[in-house]
């Protein structure tokens, strides 16, 4: 029967446990600073 499809999505990121982890996340945030995921919505 036709209808709407609903999905539940869980995004899990690795925990930050070391200074290197924190630096990696900060570098990624800096690299994607201009990214807007809702730009085409």
Low pLDDT (below 70) residues in the chain: none
Please give the pLDDT value at position 18. 98
pLDDT for residue 1: 72
Tell me the C-alpha distance between 41 and 38, whole Å: 5
**The pLDDT of residue 39:** 93
Q: What residues contact 14, with CB distance under 8 A and at least 6 apart?
A: 21
């Amino acid at each position: 029967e036709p209808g709407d499809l609903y999905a539940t999505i869980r995004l899990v990121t690795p925990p930050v446990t070391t200074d290197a982890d924190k630096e990696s996340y900060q570098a990624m945030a800096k690299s994607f600073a201009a990214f807007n995921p809702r730009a085409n919505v």
